[in-house]
């Protein structure tokens, strides 16, 4: 296990926001909450999957809702702890390790306030290898690990326990509760043994986020183009560079949905997003889509969350391959273009 302090939290926040493909919650807010918890309670230990005993009890933490709302509706900071402790009560025995449900934006850091407050280690792993907008869009679903029970808690001290028959019902019921709670909340779920965690979760993703966040700073110091460095590091490529000329947002209380249009060098790019960027088209031709990563970055290599896209920004769009499990037929059925209502086929980046 290794100790995580304030400097590495900063790297994880940036790298997680890049991997989050525009979603996962505001990384700055997540970093502030995590740093405050570490300041008050001390550093957090991060454990590798190989260090977790078979009989350990692991549970996930993550934000649910529309990230746009969080620009004005800030978390109180105790929601994740409330949800986690209520889940532990439902399970009837102590949870030993905290797991990020996704390595994206704020959600990369959501376990740290829980871990700091309760003196528990965070696993260097997650259930997506990026960010997706729905509860069922995790590798747990591919391996029949249920989000059961699931606890949703808000900043007012309200919490609800949901018992479900499958992970699609977990999404429907948790989303409905979140909308009633003000469109953002924290959830705790996906209890599993240490052996299950080793078998099904995606390893090393917090380390990956940290390395990616540090890479951006190193590229600036060495006067290397940060966006190209990020693309190379992730095994991807730059898809487009230009200016945001229009952002159209849909009215949906459960998600941040919409499209952004970019122009540059006589060409145009259209980005469709639902919390995360789902499809990138250049001059009408699809150049990237879920489950591959579509990352929007500013000139300094800083990730631009989908909810903060605005007219006049100059950005670079980077595409990178997703984790191999999402490229299987089962993975594509769960998180590929058809899962979001698109009729086009998935064309993997790098092939």
The CATH number of whichever domain residue 324 belongs to comes to: 2.40.390.10
Q: Do 247 and 331 touch, CB atoms closer than 8 A? A: no
With respect to residue 346, please indicate whether it lies within any of the assigned structural domains.
no
What pLDDT, on a 0 to 100 scale, did the predictor assign at position 275?
Answer: 92
With respect to residue 140, please indicate whether it lies within any of the assigned structural domains.
yes
What pLDDT, on a 0 to 100 scale, did the predictor assign at position 23?
Answer: 92
- pLDDT band at 70; cut points 50, 70, 90: confident
**pLDDT tens, residue by residue, 243-260:** 999 999 987 778 889 999
Regarding whether 154 and 102 lie in a shared domain, the answer is yes
CB contact burial 97-122 (16+ within 10 A = b; e otherwise)? bbbbbbbbbbbbbbbbbbbbbeebbb
Report whether pLDDT(76) > 90.
no
For 259, residues 6+ apart whose C-beta sits below 8 A from its C-beta are: 247, 248, 270, 271, 272, 273
Please identify, among 160, 175, 205, the residue that sits at the C-terminal boundary of a domain: 205
With respect to residue 87, please indicate whether it lies within any of the assigned structural domains.
yes
Phi, psi of 237 (to 5 degrees): -155, 160
Regarding whether 173 and 54 lie in a shared domain, the answer is yes
* CA–CA gap between residue 192 and residue 95 (Å, rounded): 10
With respect to residue 351, please indicate whether it lies within any of the assigned structural domains.
no
Place of tokens 């998180």: 335
Distances (CA, A) of 276 to 157, 238, 259: 28, 18, 11
- pLDDT band at 215; cut points 50, 70, 90: very high
Report whether pLDDT(168) > 60.
yes
Dihedral, 168, 173, 177, 180 alpha carbons, nearest 10: 100
Q: What percent of the chain has pLDDT over 90?
A: 86
Q: Average pLDDT over the chain, rounded to whole?
A: 94
Average pLDDT on 148-174 reads: 95
Residues in the chain: 351
Regarding whether 77 and 41 lie in a shared domain, the answer is yes
Regarding whether 90 and 150 lie in a shared domain, the answer is yes
Q: What is the residue range of 72's domain?
A: 2-205
Report whether pLDDT(351) > 70.
no
Place of tokens 């989908």: 306
Other beta carbons within 10 angstroms of residue 156's beta carbon come to 11
Regarding whether 177 and 313 lie in a shared domain, the answer is no
Closest by CA to 202, choosing from 19, 6, 3, is: 19
For 341, residues 6+ apart whose C-beta sits below 8 A from its C-beta are: none
Regarding whether 257 and 166 lie in a shared domain, the answer is no
* 3-class DSSP string for 183-244: CEEEEEEEEEEHHHHHHHCEECHHHHHHHHHHHHHHHHHCCCCHHHHHHHHCCCEEEEEEEE
Place of tokens 């990138």: 280
Regarding whether 162 and 41 lie in a shared domain, the answer is yes
For 87, residues 6+ apart whose C-beta sits below 8 A from its C-beta are: 59, 95, 149, 150, 151, 161, 188, 189, 191
With respect to residue 137, please indicate whether it lies within any of the assigned structural domains.
yes
Average pLDDT on 147-156 reads: 96
Regarding whether 171 and 295 lie in a shared domain, the answer is no
Q: What percent of the chain has pLDDT over 70?
A: 100
Report whether pLDDT(122) > 60.
yes
With respect to residue 213, please indicate whether it lies within any of the assigned structural domains.
no
* CA–CA gap between residue 173 and residue 136 (Å, rounded): 12
With respect to residue 217, please indicate whether it lies within any of the assigned structural domains.
no
Report whether pLDDT(115) > 80.
yes
Name the domain count of the chain: 2
- pLDDT band at 6; cut points 50, 70, 90: confident
What pLDDT, on a 0 to 100 scale, did the predictor assign at position 66?
Answer: 83
Regarding whether 331 and 197 lie in a shared domain, the answer is no
Q: Do 164 and 147 touch, CB atoms closer than 8 A? A: yes
With respect to residue 211, please indicate whether it lies within any of the assigned structural domains.
no
Average pLDDT on 272-291 reads: 96
Regarding whether 262 and 164 lie in a shared domain, the answer is no
CATH number at residue 153: 3.40.1610.10
Please identify, among 170, 205, 240, the residue that sits at the C-terminal boundary of a domain: 205
Please identify, among 157, 177, 205, the residue that sits at the C-terminal boundary of a domain: 205
Regarding whether 127 and 30 lie in a shared domain, the answer is yes
Regarding whether 296 and 193 lie in a shared domain, the answer is no
* CA–CA gap between residue 182 and residue 69 (Å, rounded): 8
Closest by CA to 342, choosing from 281, 260, 254, is: 281
Lowest mean pLDDT among 39-43, 46-50, 257-261, 281-285: 39-43
Report whether pLDDT(55) > 90.
yes
């Amino acid at each position: 296990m290794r100790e995580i302090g304030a400097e590495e939290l900063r790297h994880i926040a940036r790298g997680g926001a890049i991997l989050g493909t525009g979603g996962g919650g505001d990384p700055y807010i997540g970093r502030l909450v995590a740093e405050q918890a570490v300041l008050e309670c001390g550093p957090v230990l991060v454990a590798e999957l190989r260090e977790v005993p078979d009989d350990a009890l692991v549970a996930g933490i993550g934000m649910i809702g529309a990230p746009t709302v969080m620009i004005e509706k800030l978390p109180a900071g105790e929601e994740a702890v409330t949800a986690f402790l209520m889940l532990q009560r439902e399970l009837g025995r102590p949870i030993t390790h905290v797991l990020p449900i996704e390595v994206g934006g704020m959600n990369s850091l959501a376990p740290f306030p829980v871990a700091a407050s309760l003196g528990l280690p965070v696993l260097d792993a997650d259930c997506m290898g990026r960010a997706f907008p729905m509860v069922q869009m995790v590798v747990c679903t591919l391996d029949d690990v249920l989000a059961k029970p699931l606890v949703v808690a808000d900043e007012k001290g309200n919490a609800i326990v949901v018992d479900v028959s499958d992970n699609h019902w977990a999404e429907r019921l948790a989303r409905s509760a979140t909308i009633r709670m003000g469109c953002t909340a924290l959830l705790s779920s996906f209890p599993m043994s240490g052996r299950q965690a080793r078998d099904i979760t995606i390893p090393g993703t917090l380390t990956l986020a940290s390395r990616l966040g540090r890479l951006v700073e190193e590229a600036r110091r060495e006067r290397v183009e940060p966006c190209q460095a990020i693309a190379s590091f992730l095994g991807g490529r730059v898809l487009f560079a230009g200016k945001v000329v229009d952002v159209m947002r849909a009215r949906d209380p459960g998600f941040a949905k919409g499209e952004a249009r970019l122009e540059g060098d006589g060409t145009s790019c259209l980005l469709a997003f639902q919390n995360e960027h789902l499809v990138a088209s250049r001059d009408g031709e699809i150049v990237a889509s879920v489950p591959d990563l579509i990352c929007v970055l500013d000139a300094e290599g800083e990730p631009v969350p989908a909810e903060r896209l605005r007219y006049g920004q100059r950005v670079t769009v980077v595409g990178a391959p997703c984790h191999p499990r999402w490229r299987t037929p089962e993975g594509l059925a769960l998180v590929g273009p058809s899962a979001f209502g698109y009729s086009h086929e998935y064309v993997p980046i790098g092939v």
